[in-house]
Structure 1
Amino acid sequence: MVSEAGETSTEPGRPVWLLNPLESVGPLHFGMSADEVRAALPEAFELKHFSAEPFFPDIYGLQLGFRPAVPAVYTYFNRVDRLFCVAADAAHGPRVTLDGLELTGREPAMLEDTVLGLYSSGAHSVSYGPRGNPGINGVGMVLRVQDTANGVLTRPVLVGRDWADRCTDDWEGAIPECEWLGRQWRVHNGSDVWPPPGHVTKWPSGWTPPF
């Protein structure tokens, strides 16, 4: 469905979360502990606890859902158990909005044009990471894409102030490795997925992608 504001939704009844850049998204404030996140989302089911980084095992994620067995939100915690990154599932996640613009579950080309128009000048600017994923470091936001039953749709990935530096850089930024895997925003080195077919990763043998 499409509203006058241009937002899209593949599932009715999804909560609307306002993004306060670098500070909070919906009821989640960057810097919260895992227990504080659970308390902020009493209606959510905790679906999975997983290792988010192959080389930093103390960085972990919680997969949460608003319905049993249906992932909606991914929350990531650093080595001192503080929330630093939140990602919304494209098909079932909260409808994250920034300045009235809905970021979740959109057609990538349409959202990219809108974001470029809004942020092509002024204090913030859109940049692209090494694999072509767009975002705004000054907002702590990266736009990813995800395969869904309704096609390839957008998945916003958001970080707090202390982790926003170079967040669009999938090599040096703070966003966990697992969030960069799978479908890419555009073709990079001949492939629109990462890792590309035939690529041999250098991940430790004990780590596998959690989703």
Structure 2
Amino acid sequence: MSWWGRKLEDRERWVLDPLVGLGPLRFGMDSDEAEAALGGAREGNSQVAADGGCWVRYQDVGVTGIYGPGMILAGVAIDAMEGPLVRLREVELIARVPSQARTEIGNLAGREDAAVRVNWSGDPEIAAWGVSMGTALEYGISSEGRPERKDGMITSALFVSAELAESPYETGPVLHWCDVREREKNGGSWPVKTDQERSHWDWSPLKAVGPLRFGTTPQQVADALGGEVPAGRQGHFPYWWWRRGAAGQWTLAYDRFEQTGVTAHYWYPQGLPVLGAVTVHGRTGPQITYAGTPLVGATPSRLDEAMLQHIEDHGLGLLFTPSGSPIPPGLQFDINAIRTGDTAISEVTFASADWEL
């Protein structure tokens, strides 16, 4: 069953045994035992690490198994929209409003004298339970039967064994599945600029976003932003077995400019990095309009409705992007959703003609 067809009441219900396992899964199982415990669930995406560990997404049940060396189960990630509903004592952890889950987790942790800290995403993390909470945007079903974005966030979670519990996202098995070292860290708040506080940029589809022109070098991008130094950058080596500090050409993927509120994405059409796309940050980035509609910092569902109405009024044809946003064909942009606590607002990625969104 597709995730958008899975109702909350139809999802499996699992109980967490902290640091030991959850539902039918037990930390220390090998991959064959875990697959059998999941009833032979169909495997989707997976990746193997140089040290022999791997992660496997079991797409039928919304579960990702994270394996250490020897294919031993060390962690389990539960998807917000399609994974089992996991309970610890009386607290439901999955598919909850984040602030409500945070309050109940805090109350339970207080009773059990368990320390609660904030993880990289600004969500609760409790080493004593091997729990690190997360969130994802909630989706629903439109009247036409297609998935549509809602405006709220719901909880997901990572559960790990005792060996990983102190710093889950800094351990090898979890880093291989989700490397957050270069991502912007959140302290648990999501301030948003008002429209009056934002600068306003023009957009030339397929050519430029404000002062940033597609095809320019990283240095030219920084110069166009007044010499701003990137607050963060991410890249990769060409092969999975190359690690940081190893020989080989490091490939720059993007620069994040916090002061301006944009991320510059690069590609290598002729062997050197040039600007291929720009993401305007929803909480802090400049405002950009299309057909009189502000695209940045808007309520996702209302913006989707406005785009659909504009497309229908002008007979422009309809394209759904990978994130599920409806846009006219040929403009190369995607309306994403970024968290603002329990809710979300829009942020937009604008791309050059040959960039794959």
TM normalised by structure 1 equals 0.74
Instruction: Sort the Cα spacing of 1:10 and 1:186 in 2 relative to 1 into closer, same or farther, 3 A.
Output: farther
How far the C-alpha of 1:12 sits from its partner, in A, is: 3.0
Structure 2 unpaired stretches of 5+: 1-5, 140-149, 193-229, 241-252, 254-357
How far the C-alpha of 1:49 sits from its partner, in A, is: 1.8
Q: Distance in 1 between matches of 2:7 and 2:236?
A: 34
For 1:39, the equivalent position in structure 2 comes to 36
| Aligned with 2:58 (options 54, 57, 64) | 64
For 1:162, the equivalent position in structure 2 comes to 163
Aligned with 2:8: secondary structure?
A: coil
Q: Deviations over 1:125-174 (max 9, x none)?
A: 1111355332100110000111231431111110012221233xx44686
Q: Deviations over 1:31-56 (max 9, x none)?
A: 100000111111522122224x7xx5
Aligned with 1:124: secondary structure?
A: coil
Q: Percent identity?
A: 24
Aligned with 1:120: secondary structure?
A: helix
For 1:84, the equivalent position in structure 2 comes to 74
Q: Distance in 2 between matches of 1:80 and 1:173?
A: 13
Q: Distance in 2 between matches of 1:111 and 1:28?
A: 23
TM normalised by structure 2 equals 0.46
What is the aligned residue count? 185
How far the C-alpha of 1:178 sits from its partner, in A, is: 3.8
For 1:204, the equivalent position in structure 2 comes to 237
Give the letter for the 1:162 counterpart.
Answer: E
Aligned with 2:82: secondary structure?
A: coil
Q: Distance in 2 between matches of 1:124 and 1:173?
A: 25
For 1:142, the equivalent position in structure 2 comes to 132
CA RMSD of aligned residues (A): 3.2
Q: Which has the greater radius of gyration?
A: 2
Structure 1 unpaired stretches of 5+: 1-8, 191-196
For 2:175, the equivalent position in structure 1 comes to 176
Give the letter for the 2:30 counterpart.
Answer: S
1:159–1:175 contact (8 Å) kept in structure 2? no
How far the C-alpha of 1:73 sits from its partner, in A, is: 0.4
Aligned with 2:16: secondary structure?
A: strand
For 2:47, the equivalent position in structure 1 comes to 50
2:14–2:22 contact (8 Å) kept in structure 1? yes
Q: Distance in 2 between matches of 1:85 and 1:12?
A: 25
- Which deviates the most, 79-88 or 157-166? 157-166
2:116 is equivalent to residue 126 of structure 1: yes
Instruction: Sort the Cα spacing of 1:34 and 1:102 in 2 relative to 1 into closer, same or farther, 3 A.
Output: same
Instruction: Sort the Cα spacing of 1:125 and 1:111 in 2 relative to 1 into closer, same or farther, 3 A.
Output: same
How far the C-alpha of 1:203 sits from its partner, in A, is: 3.6
1:17–1:26 contact (8 Å) kept in structure 2? yes
2:164–2:171 contact (8 Å) kept in structure 1? no
| Aligned with 1:73 (options 63, 72, 83) | 63
How far the C-alpha of 1:84 sits from its partner, in A, is: 0.2
Aligned with 1:18: secondary structure?
A: strand
1:108–1:185 contact (8 Å) kept in structure 2? no
Give the letter for the 2:12 counterpart.
Answer: P
Q: Deviations over 1:55-80 (max 9, x none)?
A: x56331111133xxxx6001010112
- Which deviates the most, 97-106 or 141-150? 141-150
